[in-house]
Amino acid sequence: MTTAPEAHRWEVMGRAIKERRLGQPFTLVELAERAGLSQPFLSQVENGRAQPSMASLYRIASALGTTPQALFGGLANAAAPALARATGTDVATIATDGESLRRLLLPGDTPVHVIELVGLAVDFLEPWQHPGFEALYVLTGPIDVEVDGQCSTLATGDFLSYPSHLPHRYRSALGAGARVLLIETQHEAGQRGTHSI
């Protein structure tokens, strides 16, 4: 059952998808085709009446040239501090398809996204690719990270960064016990943008 705060987050995310689609500009049919989804389903997502799986959300975000995290949180107020309490209900979460619970500590249109991955799949799932740059800090490991076909095992306290346009994915024998801090930006490493990290 979806709680009122969760339903509101999905409505905000649906509006963000629609705003980005219109800004491209794509028709609903064009975006549905690019994402490989049905137009009626995408319409329901945009109107907050359907919650896409993480795989579908990733396909929508990729078709829009962004990431799922950027679609949550709406417009950020860069002039004000952002607080995400460990026990707070104000932190958006995405339960992914057998992979992890993603706590979106800093989502939205911010220059950087900060996500806590709580639990990882025990086997590699399909790889992710999107514009930008990512950094992983292992809170509870070990975890395996595959970037562009090369696999590295990271222990607790290890750190790895990579251009996120390269295919990447993670797994851990710990399953639900693994925890990772993921930091991502939509700017490539070394690219000058309007924001710096």
98-154 pLDDT, tens digit per residue, is: 667 888 788 777 788 898 999 999 999 888 888 889 999 999 999 999 999 999 999
Q: Evaluate if residue 92 carries a pLDDT over 60.
A: yes
Classify domain 92-185 at the CATH topology level.
Jelly Rolls (2.60.120)
CA 84 – CA 91 distance, rounded (Å): 6
Residues of the chain with CATH 1.10.260.40: 4-65
The residue ranking higher by pLDDT, 103 or 167, is 167
> Residue 194: pLDDT above 60?
no
Is residue 99 within 8 A of residue 54, CB to CB? The reply is yes
Whether 75 has a pLDDT exceeding 60, the answer reads no
Cis peptide upstream of residue 163 (ω within 30 degrees of 0): no
| Structure tokens belonging to residue 178 | 């693994």
- State the chain's mean pLDDT as an integer: 82
Contact between residue 166 and residue 147 where contact means Cβ atoms under 8 Å apart: yes
Reduce the DSSP state of residue 118 to 3 states and report it: strand
Percentage of the chain lying above the pLDDT 90 cut: 43
Q: C-alpha angle 14/134/103, rounded to 5°?
A: 50
Give the model's pLDDT for residue 1. Answer: 47
Tell me the pTM: 0.72
- Count CA atoms within 13 Å of residue 87 on its CB side: 0
3-state secondary structure of 20: helix
pLDDT at residue 58 in the model: 82
Domain with CATH 2.60.120.10 in the chain: 92-185
Give the CATH superfamily of 4-65: lambda repressor-like DNA-binding domains (1.10.260.40)
